[in-house]
Amino acid sequence: MENISKIVLSQASGEKIGYVLDVVIDFQTFQITGYYVVEEETENELFLKSSDIVAVSEFVVVIDDEANLEFSPVRTKTLIGRCVFDDKGVFFGHVIGMEFHRNKLVKILTDRCEILTKQVAKISNDIVFVQFKKKRKDVQKRTFPKVSSENVVTIQSLQKPEKVTLATSFYVGKVVSEDIIGYNSERIISKGQIISRSVVDKAKKHNRLNQLFFAIKR
């Protein structure tokens, strides 16, 4: 996760201040506004603004002066562990991770799937609500001759649901209840075997992910 556990160094004192405990996100824009830092000596939690960061490397976050850090008595609850539901009450798992791009949260990872932040409708203290937009089809108005209502069969078009892609980690470690065969009768995995990452990758190549999903022992 973005800069979590990195050591915080001060240019002014040349000392190690502490380490990054958590990221602070504006849930309106999904921009990173700063970080919570645990102070080395007192173990107090401090708020570090993104604008006060001088440099970031693989292991450390460098700030200008530790005097810019603000004491934070109450820390905003992290997204990790929150339940994800859609507006119909469908459960999409618990949040286990987040992906960032240029200081912006772009994807929420659950133990069941991956969700883009543009699909997030609202975030409360315990719940992340998502909403998937329905695809609309342009319908041209046409004039048809009147017909008798007798012996008329009405056909309703079903709306195709949004596709939610499950993360590879969802499959790994689970046991299948049947053989999965790919193209040219190639065996992807046998009944009773444990799914590995290579098996998931092969299932994707052979377009057998759906079959693999329904073959998981529950």
**DSSP letter assigned to residue 192:** T
Architecture of domain 7-71: Roll (2.30)
| DSSP-derived 3-state class of residue 91 | strand
Query: pLDDT at residue 141 above 60?
Result: no
Q: How, if at all, do strands 91-100 and 105-110 pair?
A: antiparallel
For the chain, the structural domain boundaries read: 7-71, 83-130, 168-214
Q: If you search the block for the tokens 């992906």, which residue do you land on?
A: 99
Q: Write out 8-75 in H/E/C secondary structure.
A: EEECCCCCEEEEEEEEEEECCCCEEEEEEEEECCCCCEEEEEHHHEEEECCCEEEECCHHHCEECCCC
What are the CB-based long-range contacts (under 8 Å, 24+) for 119-122?
A: 121/87
Confidence of residue 1 (pLDDT cuts 50, 70, 90): low
Residue 9: per-residue pLDDT: 96
Identify the burial level of 34 via C-beta atoms within 10 angstroms of its C-beta, where 0-12 means exposed, 13-18 middle and 19 or more buried: buried
- The one-letter amino acid code at 195 reads I
pLDDT digits (tens, 9 = 90+) for 104-132: 999 999 999 999 999 999 998 889 999 98
pLDDT tens for 17-69 read: 999 988 999 999 999 999 999 998 888 899 999 999 999 998 999 999 999 99
Average pLDDT of the chain to the nearest whole number: 83
% helix / strand / coil in the chain, to the nearest 5? 15, 35, 50
| Model pLDDT, residue 165 | 52
Residues across the chain: 218
